[in-house]
Chain A
């Protein structure tokens, strides 16, 4: 159990750092989504299924969609 949780936290950290450093903003959005998804799994492990549901549906689906629509309107690559 503790191994799974620590692996998930490490993945989450990697995703968060790469979301900051990606030059292609679409990749950055997908990495930020991964942070939310792993956070929702961690919430589930911490026995908070309410929060996990909200995090998965809002953080991983709706926020990503809104960011991708915004990227379509503006530029895709960071200078």
Chain B
């Protein structure tokens, strides 16, 4: 009985997808907004990377929503895991000297790479989310390689809250000073294709990168310590 129901459900979903796919006119520009971003985005926002200008400037409010979803997921995981007791002190075999030294050597380099990616978000591919994920993977490496290190939980939470505040405060300043919408670009655009350009975009991306990195590192810390 259950199998028949699932087959019928699958068939309905399949037919729905096929019907929708038949109605999409592929290869025809139906909307003008994409072409507008490609043509004008560079001089209006000052960011060379068009993806960044869309993500942070034109669709900045959506990005705030994404960051909030990630924040809620991290908080939910912490709330679920807070019920588990820490299972005493498990015996952890220390890793070999080569592995520990390698981890210690690689950790700052990976952090630097993540920071590079989110600071240069408006010039090169990448941005806050990617850089934050790379920073979190550096913390994962330390957790797997040399377990002796203690994670600074208070510092992590402070960084996360402060960067979230920076995002919202910049958006509100843009609402009051610059234009009539949230996250409008009120700072000077500067010379295009240099590091100090594109107004508020680098500041917002640095805030997003720090927030995502500290959140994901907190998730990894919760999982490794409490399970």
Q: How many residues of A contact B (CB 8 A)?
A: 14
Question: Which residues, 20 to 68 on A, are CB-close (under 8 Å) to B?
Answer: 49-50, 53-54, 57-58, 61-62, 65-66
Residues of A within 8 Å of B51, CB to CB, are 50
- Is B182 located at the chain interface by the 8 A CB criterion? no
What's the count of A-B pairs with C-beta under 8 Å? 41
**A61 close to B125 (CB less than 8 A):** no
In angstroms, Cα B143 to Cα A65, docked, is 11
In angstroms, Cα B117 to Cα A65, docked, is 22
In angstroms, Cα B136 to Cα A7, docked, is 32
- Is B127 located at the chain interface by the 8 A CB criterion? yes
**B227 close to A69 (CB less than 8 A):** yes
B87's nearest neighbour on chain A, judged by CB, is: A73
- Is A72 located at the chain interface by the 8 A CB criterion? yes
- Is B223 located at the chain interface by the 8 A CB criterion? yes
**A58 close to B133 (CB less than 8 A):** yes
**Smallest Cβ distance from A26 to chain B, in angstroms?**
15
Q: From known contacts A50-B51, A50-B130, A53-B117, infer whether A65 and B140 are also in contact, taking CB-CB under 8 Å.
A: yes
In angstroms, Cα B223 to Cα A61, docked, is 15
In angstroms, Cα B190 to Cα A66, docked, is 42
B127's nearest neighbour on chain A, judged by CB, is: A50
B133 contacts which of A57, A70, A72 (Cβ < 8 Å)? A57
**Smallest Cβ distance from B135 to chain A, in angstroms?**
9
In angstroms, Cα B51 to Cα A53, docked, is 13
Question: Which residues, 61 to 85 on B, are CB-close (under 8 Å) to A?
Answer: none
Residues of B within 8 Å of A57, CB to CB, are 130, 133-134, 137
Residue positions of B touching A, CB distance < 8 A: 51, 117, 125-127, 129-130, 133-134, 136-137, 140, 144, 216, 219-220, 223-224, 227
Q: List 13 A-B contacts (CB under 8 A).
A: A50-B125, A50-B130, A53-B117, A53-B125, A53-B130, A58-B133, A61-B133, A61-B140, A62-B136, A62-B140, A65-B144, A70-B223, A72-B227
Residue positions of A touching B, CB distance < 8 A: 49-50, 53-54, 57-58, 61-62, 65-66, 69-70, 72-73
